[in-house]
Amino acid sequence: MAADLANHEAVYATDEYGRPFIILREQAKKTRSHGIEAIKSHILAARTVANIVRTSLGPRGLDKILISPDGEITITNDGATILGQMEVEHQIAKLLVQLSKSQDDEIGDGTTGVVVLAGALLEQSEELLDRGLHPMRIADGFERACAVAVNHLESISDRIEYTKENSGNLLKAAMTSLGSKIVSKAHQKFAEIAVDAVLTVADMERRDVPFDLIKVDGKVGGGLEDTTLIKGVLLDKDMSHPQMPRTVHDAKLAILTCPFEPPRPKTKHKLDITSVEEYNKLKEYEKEKFADMIKMVKDAGANLVICQWGFDDEANHLLMQNDLPAVRWVGGPEIELIAIATNGRIVPRFEDLSSEKLGRAGVVREISFGTTRDKMMVIEECANTRAVTIFVRGSNKMIVDEAKRALHDALCVVRNLVVDNRVVYGGGSAEISCSLAVAKAADEIPSIEQYAMRAFSAALDAVPLALAENSGLPPIETLANIKSQQVTQKSSRLGVDCVGRGHNDMKEQYVYDPLISKRQQYLLATQLVRAVLKIDDVIMSGPSDE
């Protein structure tokens, strides 16, 4: 027995109760490799998700059809939308979904690129694990390479100059963002709308763009070319009574969150009407209360009521008789936007109404459009002239929804350039330049982390490879040509000519990426890969013993 144990290089151990047991060499090996195998399975799950969105990258990227549980169809190539609506079971794959959401929340654009980069880094990690590198040494090498790449990004960035009067460079950046979207046939118009909207609400001194002043609304009907920018607020409502005036000039708005209803009895009380006299008395009481409410509104100087709640026919009729037009059932976010736009105050009680709390607008009018003559309210010439609404039109709901998502990306790109006007050039040119810089830095590092840095350099090539592949070009040959051109011409502006312009100078093609967007992609992808490499097991928490 002892000889057998010697041959097998046994390890003697005890359990938590002090009972001895023996681990043979094969079992010990299995124990050591368990963590690595777990990490590899996590990498496989994350790479599977990354490969799904890889084909959606770039202006020639393909769209995905997403079908919800109730059969609703969404067609999009927006990375955050695809991952957000996918049913992902694996815990590590859910991290990639969170990654694209982080990029969407923080920057608004580059949601596909960040997932493609993270997938490529994980693919390289697997090869390094097979070669025996410890996961934490790989993670440290990636962080070191990421720092080199981010510093190189800043060194190759350009500043684009613009003013509110001359916003041509912002327009080109917005058009780059929209080039890969479903709205590309009207991307000139959409880019102009995005730039106008951001510059209208932007505070240029503080370099700040308050997005809550930009509302994006949409209606089915018309074409994408019918999309318009309204300097004011658009409400999907109409006047509460058909005989109320359709236009109110020099409007003074009472913005109410209290209903036009008489006070109700408390729930513990009961009201019994047993005779005609009592009914008439109650009717007179209600009429008197309605008259008091309308008088308070009129005394404050209001000539238009915006109410969060509905009101019954009695109140509606009295409002019409008293020449007080009203709009009812205005939702919470909309009523807040109206208050911001008109510099009004939201009033919770009729007794609190005063002329100082009224919102002011030059004109409030009801518009009708389309073959169905849909009606909407437009509040224009507001006291706060910075509030705007983008009204998106499209032939069906799917087109309208995708146009809204595309506009969100374009608005975010322009917003990022207002905050920081430094750009790097797209078409994979920045990734190729950073890849060369990281590979050069790796040659100067004597430690084992140089392998991880070279892997990071190879992972950066995944973005131009995907762009070339999605554009129908030979990927490896295209990448090799651009790399040699960047080295020989010492130009970081050369990238993949995705749309067939005949040259690959991204500056001349006006293909811009905001620096803060690209930098955030590198940092987020690296942090996610570090997190995945640190997880060697997933433990499901069971029910408590209590």
Q: 78, 196, 497, 505: which is the annotated catalytic residue?
A: 78
Q: 104, 109, 401, 409: which is the annotated catalytic residue?
A: 409
Active site residue 513: no
Q: CB under 8 Å to 439, separation ≥6 — which residues?
A: 453, 454, 457
**Rounded to a whole number, what is the distance in angstroms from the first to the last CA of the chain?**
46
C-alpha 496/C-alpha 328 separation (Å) is 54
- Give the largest CA-CA distance in the chain: 111
The three-class DSSP label of residue 376 is: strand
Phi, psi of 415 (to 5 degrees): -60, -45
319-354 core/surface letters (b: 16 or more CB in 10 A; e: else): bbeeebbbbbebeeebbebbbbbbebbbbeebeebe
C-alpha 495/C-alpha 169 separation (Å) is 19
Active site residue 112: yes
Q: Are 347 and 255 in contact (CB under 8 A)?
A: yes
Block residue for tokens 């607020």:
233
C-alpha 148/C-alpha 145 separation (Å) is 5
Counting Cβ atoms within 10 Å, is residue 429 exposed (0-12), middle (13-18) or buried (19+)?
buried
Q: 55, 76, 111, 227: which is the annotated catalytic residue?
A: 111
Can you give the C-alpha Rg of the chain in angstroms? 31
Active site residue 15: no
Q: 74, 112, 227, 526: which is the annotated catalytic residue?
A: 112
Q: Are 74 and 90 in contact (CB under 8 A)?
A: no
Active site residue 409: yes
Q: Which residues have a catalytic role annotated? A: 78, 111-112, 409
